[in-house]
Structure 1
Amino acid sequence: MSHLSIRKVAVLGAGVMGAQIAAHLINAKVPVMLFDLPAQPGPKNAIALKALDHLRKLNPAPLGVSDAAVYIEPANYEDDLDRLNECDLIIEAIAERIDWKHDLYKKIAPAIRSDAIFASNTSGLSINTLAEKLDAELKSRFCGVHFFNPPRYMHLVELIPAQHTRAEILDGLESFLTSTLGKGVVRAKDTPNFIANRVGVFSVLATIKEAEKFELGFDLVDDLTGRRLGRAKSATFRTADVVGLDTLTHVIKTMRDNLADDPFFPIYSEPPVLSALLAQGALGQKSGVGFYKKEGKTIKVLDPQRGAYIDSGARADALVERILKRPPAERFKLLRESTHPQARFLWAIFRDVFHYSALHLEHIADNARELDFAVRWGFGWSEGPFEIWQAAGWRQLAEWVQADIDAGEALSKAPLPAWVFDGPVAAQGGVHTAAGSWSPKTRTFVPRSTLAAYDKQIFRASLNGEGKADPRTEGKTLSENEAVRIWVDARAGQDDIVIVSFKTKMNTISPAVLDGLVQAVELAEQNHRGLVVWQPSSLQAGPFSAGANLEGVMPALMAGGAKKVEPFVAQFQQTMQRMKYAAVPVVPAVAGIALGGGCELAMHGAKRVAHLESYMGLVEAGVGLLPAGGGLKETALRAAATAQRLGQRNLVEFLAKPFEKIALAKVSSSAHEAIEFGYLLPSDTIVFNMHELLATALSEARGLAALGWRAPLPSRAIAVAGRAGIATIKAQLVNMRDGGFISEHDFLIGSRIAEVLCGGAVEMGSLVDEAWLLKLERAAFVELLDMKKTQERIIGMLQTGKPVRN
Structure 2
Amino acid sequence: MNNAQFIVRKVAVLGAGVMGAQIAAHMVNANIETILFELPAEADDPNASVVKAVEKLKKHEPAPLSVKAKAGFIQAANYDQHLEQLKTCDVVIEAIAERMDWKQALYEKVAPFLGEQTIFASNTSGLSIDQLALAFPEALRHRFCGVHFFNPPRYMHLVELIPCAHSDALMLDNLESFLVTYLGKGVIRAKDTPNFIANRIGVFSLLATMHHGQSFGLGFDEVDALTGTLIGRPKSATFRTADVVGLDVLAHVIHTMRDTLKDDDWHAYFDTPDWLRGLIDEGAFGQKTKRGVYQKVGKEIQVLNLADNSYRVSRGEANDELKQQLKYSKPADKIAVMRNSQHMHGQFLWAVHRDLFHYCAVQLEHIADNARDLDLALRWGFGWEHGPFEIWQNSGWKRVADWINEDIAAGKCMRDTPLPSWVTKISEQEVAAVHTPHGSFAPASGLLHKRSALPVYRRQLYPDLLIGEDATYGETIFETDAVRMWHTGDKTAILSFKSKMHTIGKDVLNGIQDGLEEAEKNWKALVIWQTEPPFSVGANLKQATERPKPPQVEKREPAPPSVFEKFFKQFKKSAQATVLKAARELDMADALMARKLAEVEVMIAQFQQISQALRYSMIPTVAAVDGMALGGGCEFIMHCDHTVATMETYIGLVEAGVGLLPAGGGCKELAFRAAQTAVENDPFPQLKKYYQTVAMAELAKSAEQAKEFGFLRPADTIIMNRFELLHAAKLQALALAESGYRPPLRQRAIPVAGNTGAATIESMLVNMHEGGFISDHDFLIGKKIAFVMCGGDLTPGSLVDEEWFLELERAAFMELLATEKTQARIEHTLRTGKPLRN
Query: Normalising to structure 2: TM-score of the pair?
Result: 0.93
User: Does the alignment pair 1:429 with 2:432?
Assistant: yes
Q: Residue 611 of structure 1: SS of its match in structure 2? A: strand
- Alpha-carbon distance in structure 2 between the residues aligned to 1:176 and 1:530: 29
The 5-angstrom pairing of residues 221-620 of structure 1 reads 221-325=223-327, 326-422=329-425, 426=429, 428-466=431-469, 468-470=470-472, 474-489=473-488, 494-538=489-533, 543-553=534-544, 554=588, 555-620=590-655
Question: Structure 2 residue aligned with 1:715, among 747, 759, 771?
Answer: 747
- Alpha-carbon distance in structure 1 between the residues aligned to 2:735 and 2:674: 27
Question: Offset at 1:423?
Answer: 6.2
Match of residue 791 from structure 2: 759
- Alpha-carbon distance in structure 1 between the residues aligned to 2:4 and 2:280: 45
User: Does the alignment pair 1:805 with 2:804?
Assistant: no
Percentage identity across aligned positions? Answer: 54
Amino acid at match of 1:800: T
Match of residue 635 from structure 1: 670
Aligned in 2, Cα 1:31/1:413: closer, same or farther, shift over 3 Å?
same
Amino acid at match of 1:565: V
Q: Residue 632 of structure 1: SS of its match in structure 2? A: helix
Question: Offset at 1:317?
Answer: 1.0
Q: Is the CA contact (8 Å cut-off) linking 2:228 and 2:235 kept in structure 1?
A: yes
- Alpha-carbon distance in structure 1 between the residues aligned to 2:634 and 2:268: 54
- Alpha-carbon distance in structure 2 between the residues aligned to 1:800 and 1:178: 41
- Alpha-carbon distance in structure 2 between the residues aligned to 1:612 and 1:428: 40
Give structure 2 stretches of 5+ with no counterpart.
545-587
Q: Is the CA contact (8 Å cut-off) linking 1:366 and 1:439 kept in structure 2?
A: yes
Per-residue CA deviation, residues 53-80 of structure 1 (Å, 9 max, x unaligned), is: 1110100000000111000111111111
Per-residue CA deviation, residues 463-516 of structure 1 (Å, 9 max, x unaligned), is: 1122x214xxx2222222222112222xxxx33111111112221111111111
Match of residue 703 from structure 2: 671
Task: Point out the more displaced range, 439-448 or 620-629.
Answer: 439-448
Question: Structure 2 residue aligned with 1:94, among 96, 99, 105?
Answer: 96
Question: Offset at 1:348?
Answer: 0.4
Per-residue CA deviation, residues 702-732 of structure 1 (Å, 9 max, x unaligned), is: 1110111110000000011111111111111
- Alpha-carbon distance in structure 1 between the residues aligned to 2:241 and 2:595: 49
Question: Offset at 1:761?
Answer: 0.8
- Alpha-carbon distance in structure 2 between the residues aligned to 1:604 and 1:2: 41
Q: Is the CA contact (8 Å cut-off) linking 2:12 and 2:34 kept in structure 1?
A: yes
Per-residue CA deviation, residues 163-200 of structure 1 (Å, 9 max, x unaligned), is: 01011111111101111111111110001100000000
- Alpha-carbon distance in structure 1 between the residues aligned to 2:649 and 2:779: 29
- Alpha-carbon distance in structure 2 between the residues aligned to 1:60 and 1:329: 34
Question: Offset at 1:230?
Answer: 0.8
CA RMSD, 1 decimal: 1.4
Amino acid at match of 2:354: R
Match of residue 792 from structure 1: 824
Q: Residue 34 of structure 1: SS of its match in structure 2? A: strand
- Alpha-carbon distance in structure 1 between the residues aligned to 2:779 and 2:385: 44
- Alpha-carbon distance in structure 1 between the residues aligned to 2:5 and 2:513: 41
Amino acid at match of 1:135: P
- Alpha-carbon distance in structure 2 between the residues aligned to 1:408 and 1:426: 28
Q: Is the CA contact (8 Å cut-off) linking 1:557 and 1:565 kept in structure 2?
A: no
Amino acid at match of 2:35: M
Task: Point out the more displaced range, 298-307 or 235-244.
Answer: 298-307
Q: Residue 747 of structure 1: SS of its match in structure 2? A: helix
Question: Offset at 1:675?
Answer: 0.1
Amino acid at match of 1:607: H
Q: Residue 234 of structure 2: SS of its match in structure 1? A: coil
Q: Residue 256 of structure 2: SS of its match in structure 1? A: helix
- Alpha-carbon distance in structure 2 between the residues aligned to 1:802 and 1:217: 29
Q: Residue 200 of structure 1: SS of its match in structure 2? A: helix
- Alpha-carbon distance in structure 2 between the residues aligned to 1:330 and 1:763: 67
Amino acid at match of 1:343: G
Match of residue 815 from structure 2: 783
Task: Point out the more displaced range, 361-370 or 278-287.
Answer: 278-287
Q: Is the CA contact (8 Å cut-off) linking 1:562 and 1:783 kept in structure 2?
A: no
Query: Normalising to structure 1: TM-score of the pair?
Result: 0.96
- Alpha-carbon distance in structure 1 between the residues aligned to 2:646 and 2:521: 29
- Alpha-carbon distance in structure 1 between the residues aligned to 2:602 and 2:465: 42
- Alpha-carbon distance in structure 2 between the residues aligned to 1:545 and 1:297: 33
- Alpha-carbon distance in structure 1 between the residues aligned to 2:510 and 2:21: 48
Per-residue CA deviation, residues 541-561 of structure 1 (Å, 9 max, x unaligned), is: xx2111111433444443345
Match of residue 573 from structure 2: none
Q: Residue 536 of structure 1: SS of its match in structure 2? A: coil
- Alpha-carbon distance in structure 1 between the residues aligned to 2:236 and 2:742: 49
Question: Offset at 1:22?
Answer: 0.5
Per-residue CA deviation, residues 416-466 of structure 1 (Å, 9 max, x unaligned), is: 111111269745412212221111112221111011111111101111122
Question: Offset at 1:402?
Answer: 1.6
Question: Offset at 1:586?
Answer: 0.8
Amino acid at match of 2:148: H
The 5-angstrom pairing of residues 116-127 of structure 1 reads 116-127=118-129
Give structure 1 stretches of 5+ with no counterpart.
none
Q: Residue 465 of structure 1: SS of its match in structure 2? A: coil
User: Does the alignment pair 1:132 with 2:134?
Assistant: yes
Match of residue 9 from structure 1: 11
Alignment: residue pair count: 791
Amino acid at match of 1:6: V
- Alpha-carbon distance in structure 2 between the residues aligned to 1:206 and 1:350: 9
Q: Is the CA contact (8 Å cut-off) linking 2:592 and 2:823 kept in structure 1?
A: no
Amino acid at match of 1:421: T
Amino acid at match of 1:795: E
Match of residue 704 from structure 1: 736
Q: Residue 56 of structure 1: SS of its match in structure 2? A: helix
Q: Is the CA contact (8 Å cut-off) linking 1:2 and 1:171 kept in structure 2?
A: no
Question: Offset at 1:640?
Answer: 0.7
- Alpha-carbon distance in structure 1 between the residues aligned to 2:471 and 2:768: 53
Amino acid at match of 2:537: A
Match of residue 76 from structure 1: 78
Question: Offset at 1:754?
Answer: 1.0
Q: Residue 52 of structure 1: SS of its match in structure 2? A: helix
